[in-house]
Amino acid sequence: METNIKYANDLIDFLYESPTAFQAVRNIKAALLRKGFKQLHRGESWNLEKGGRYFTTKNASALVAFIVGTGEIEKDGFRIIAAHTDSPALKLKPSPEMLGAGNYLKLNVETYGGPILSTWMDRPLSLAGRVSLMSENPIRPDVRFINIKKPILIIPNLAIHLNRSVNEGKEFNKQKDMLPILRLVEETFDKDGYFKDLIANHLNVEPDKVLDFDLSLYEFEKGSIIGEKNEFISSGRIDDLSMVHAGIDALFNSQTRHSTNVMICFDNEEVGSETKQGAASPFLKDVLKRITWALNSEKDAFFRAKINSFGISADNAHAIHPNLPENYDPVLQPKINMGPVIKINANQKYTTDALSSATFEMLCNKAGVPVQKYVNKSDIAGGSTLGSIASTQLDIRMVDVGNPMLAMHSIRELSGVKDHFYMKQVFEEFYK
């Protein structure tokens, strides 16, 4: 259990230092460089060597890392793990300053993905993301990354005395109810350009250099291990940075094998993946083609490599809720700390079929890890994830899996300490 807790705390540190996809990829990139991986730039030629360790990024929010196998790429193929770097959030709009009643300065936001809005209320919040600055080349703006790391925002509830029905099911208006307070202002306060000045001050640049930004709010409080027996991980962004963390760590620990081991961290899963850095893009396919062409010049080598490849789409799953078991399938009810979950859907919202499910179950058996299965209750549609979307670009055998968790898409999610270590063990077995 001590090993499990140590590994869970490592995850919590990673989650805290990765409030947005941009920070997550920066942290992964730094770890890859420390482990001897070489960065490849997509606009340059690649010279790859068998046994070499490489990575490349896209949009600073998605990343592919891989270890080139020693075998024949067309015969030994790829072993791919896919996860995503983004999480539901509140994102700032341009020119976000808004003056409200009571001399409050608010910020104008919109929702990214499907957050549970009520969980964002009454919590100290901060800001992080990416800022675009003026440059000499208009095609390539200067880019800076920012994480304020200070609780500067809050979205207060209305007191129950002024809304007696608040506990009877409040519907949140995203434009009205979710605007965070930044500060109090004086009557002579000029709001125009205030936020740009604030950002410029943090970046130590002139305000007129700031052109635009991709900034999101996040809960300032760090995650923690909780429960009387230290069984649970409580934190934001467990979905899906926990799978990113386990996958990257498994890649670090893998030895060079005949197959080429690949870890892909997509962005924008929470909004449908149909972006240049999402699972519906050719990003992963293009990288795999370049690896194949660097090792085998035959025209059909990539198509042969695909046939001999396998992928694990890793995005978290739903654990049975002790207070609401009626929302789940009457038989298949995953439990926290009882092992990874194979996700199945007859309508192919998940890419799992009987063959790929069997492969993952055998991997779990070889790793000595318990395994569970999840199917939506038949009268609840449920969501989709990376596997089926990525399959539209890359038609290889693939399974959708994840660790069981509660409060998915809450600002504070809950998962199991044992499960996180279990998943890393299965990923390591897969890369063998």
Which tokens in the block code for residue 186? 């004086």
Helix (H) or strand (E) holding 430: helix 417-431
Predicted local distance difference test score (pLDDT) of residue 286: 97
Predicted local distance difference test score (pLDDT) of residue 217: 98
Closest-CA residue to 368 (of 421, 412, 292): 421
Ordered per-residue pLDDT tens for the chain, 432 residues? 789 999 999 999 999 999 999 999 999 999 999 999 999 999 999 999 999 999 999 999 999 999 999 999 999 999 999 999 999 999 999 999 999 999 999 999 999 999 999 999 999 999 999 999 999 999 999 999 999 999 999 999 999 999 999 999 889 999 999 999 999 998 778 788 899 999 999 999 999 999 999 999 999 999 999 999 999 999 999 999 999 999 999 999 998 999 999 999 999 999 999 999 999 999 999 999 999 999 998 999 999 999 999 999 999 999 999 999 999 999 999 999 999 999 999 999 999 999 999 999 999 999 999 999 999 999 988 778 899 999 999 999 999 999 999 999 999 999 999 999 999 999 999 999
Predicted local distance difference test score (pLDDT) of residue 38: 98
Cα–Cα separations (whole angstroms), residue 1 to 5, 282, 292: 6, 41, 42
Predicted local distance difference test score (pLDDT) of residue 32: 98
Which tokens in the block code for residue 368? 């000595």
Check residue 339 and give left, alpha or beta (phi > 0: left; psi -120 to 50: alpha): left
Helix and strand element counts for the chain (H, E): 10, 20
CA 278-284-288 angle, to 5 degrees, is: 175
Say which residues have a Cβ less than 8 Å from residue 162's Cβ, sequence separation at least 6: none
Predicted local distance difference test score (pLDDT) of residue 328: 97
Predicted local distance difference test score (pLDDT) of residue 187: 74
Predicted local distance difference test score (pLDDT) of residue 31: 98
Which tokens in the block code for residue 165? 């029905």
Q: For 180, which DSSP code?
A: P
Closest-CA residue to 319 (of 348, 293, 340): 340
Cα–Cα separations (whole angstroms), residue 333 to 113, 218, 315, 359, 404: 26, 31, 17, 21, 10
Predicted local distance difference test score (pLDDT) of residue 159: 95
- Residue 419: cis peptide before it, omega within 30 degrees of 0: no
Q: Is the pTM of this model over 0.85?
A: yes
